[in-house]
Amino acid sequence: MAQIISDLTRAAVLSMDLQTAIVSIYTKSQPDFLSRVAGVLTEARARAMTVIHVQVGFRPGFPEVSERNQLFGAIKTSAQWQQVFQGPAGAIHPEVAPVNDEPVVVKHRVNAFHGTDLEMILRAKEIDTLILLGIATSGVVLSTLLDASDADYRLIVVKDCCIDLGADVQTCLIEKIFPRRATVLSSDELREALA
């Protein structure tokens, strides 16, 4: 494991899209999901690692969203879906919320890098290793992993701190796709590695 995380000061945990409404939609079958994520964040903080939170957000009227965007275009036209990203529902869940001065990157697309200052933050902190977790596995985790892999980051995916609505999609990504570009660990395995 020492080869995977050779320098904890150059590793960052990306806690992605863990907003209250999103968590409530995705974690109904896994009530201990947030406690696993909180455990990873607590361990990372204890090791003085960088923790960065990523959340989906839009300005009033959703000017960032094109009608051509199949995913977000549907949100722009639905008052019900817009509520998912506004107010307390759109805030990062209190159990895994930022502490102290942990940065929050607000994104307007699926990928945590696209159109955000995430890369600038990572470069300023000389981060070369990313530990990814969040909702959904087939959304932000996959999209961000592919971008980060192409940018030559060392990658770790915390498999039981990622969740998707489809069990078959989750299994395929975690067991077949992600291992080609990242080290895939459970939260217990990661905590052991950090300790």
Q: What is the CATH number of the domain that holds 89?
A: 3.40.50.850
| Residue-number span of the structural domain to which 102 is assigned | 8-194
Name the pairing type of β-strands 183-185 and 104-107: unpaired
Distance CA 65, CA 47 (A): 38
Q: What separation, in Å, do the N-terminal and C-terminal C-alpha atoms of the chain show?
A: 11
Within-domain flag for 1: no
User: pTM to 2 decimals?
Assistant: 0.93
Q: Which residues pair with 19 in a beta bridge?
A: 92
Instruction: Convert the pLDDT of each residue in 125-184 to its tens digit.
Output: 999 999 999 999 999 999 999 999 999 999 999 999 999 999 999 999 999 999 999 999
Token pair in block for residue 67: 């009608």
DSSP one-letter string for 67-93: TT-HHHHHHHT-HHHHGGGSHHHHSBP
In angstroms, the Cα distances linking 112 to 4, 53, 81, 132, 189 are 22, 10, 20, 11, 25
Within-domain flag for 2: no
Indicate if the pLDDT at residue 39 is higher than 90.
yes
Name the domain count of the chain.
1
Within-domain flag for 36: yes
pLDDT at 2: 42
Question: Which residues are CB-neighbours of 44 under 8 A, at least 6 positions away?
Answer: 13, 50, 51, 131, 194
Instruction: Convert the pLDDT of each residue in 41-76 to its tens digit.
Output: 999 999 999 999 999 988 888 778 888 888 877 787
